[in-house]
Amino acid sequence: MAEPRIGGATRVAAVLGWPVTHSLSPVIHNAAFAALGMDWTYVALPVEPGEVPAAVAGLRALGFAGANVTMPHKEAVADVMDDLTEDADRLRAVNTIEVVRDRLIGHNTDAPGFARFLAHDVGFEPAGKTALLFGAGGAARACALAVARAGLTRIVVALREPARAAPLADALDGFATEVEAIAFDDAAEASADLVVNATPLGAHGEDLPLPKLGADGLFVDLLYRPAMTPGQQAARAAGAQAVGGLGLLLHQAALSFELWTGRQAPLEVMSAAAVAALAEPA
């Protein structure tokens, strides 16, 4: 297959983050563009903290089609959008920017992406169940919104500073899901059907104070590097199902792709490209 050529008519999308060199998003989206024969390209743009307003303005000025947003900029980007979708406004976090003529629209595809991931990849039904969530940042709030919308009964949020759970509770205003904040180290005594790690802990071998999980339990680590975290190992040793964050990454990416292009994302192609990239030596 000939290498795609980038020319004056090539549409450009990007991911904004700091750091961003580790991102799988360029691999995923460029594989999708190539598979569909589209004259598009996707690049990673490192944006230092404090430079978000200038970087976002540059997207519009340079004619970008859109962008994804990763840590630590999801909340800062929400503050500089012209319009926010309902989920982005509720979560006060943007992970996808859509450039529509002269306006920047902030979306959050993490919440519907997590819902798709639970339904299609692991077959978990949140209705009537309980969850334990490590962390309360933008990704954590998106996961909480997804399961609350699906009828989850109760979410326990484990934090170093439990008072920081307030924005997550606010994001679920209007839903029947109960939210309780506890000290991080007390999580081992909690009871939950679903446990989600939305913190960086585990990327370098750190352990989490996991509660007891039985055969019906599910542990989701939003990290996708390493492929097997200590949390996943512990959950599997206890007999529970445990998965990493690649599925969420792919589903939210597919939703972003569809927003920008108006075409159905080739999810299998995107998945294969991500798996191949993760298999390469670091």
Active-site positions read 74
DSSP state of 4: P
* Angstrom distance (rounded) from CA 179 to CA 117: 22
Return the structure tokens found at 281.
């030596």
* Angstrom distance (rounded) from CA 274 to CA 282: 14
Q: 102 in the Ramachandran plot: left (φ > 0), alpha (ψ -120 to 50) or beta? A: alpha
* Angstrom distance (rounded) from CA 232 to CA 188: 15
- On the CB side of 193, CA atoms within 13 Å amount to 14
**Inter-CA distances, 282 with 10, 112, 260, Å:** 30, 31, 30
Return the structure tokens found at 46.
């490192």
**Is there a contact between 106 and 243 (Cβ–Cβ < 8 Å)?**
no
Question: In sequence order, what are the beta bridge partners of 178?
Answer: 154
CA angle 255, 172, 258 (to 5 degrees): 5
* Angstrom distance (rounded) from CA 203 to CA 208: 11
171 three-state secondary structure:
helix
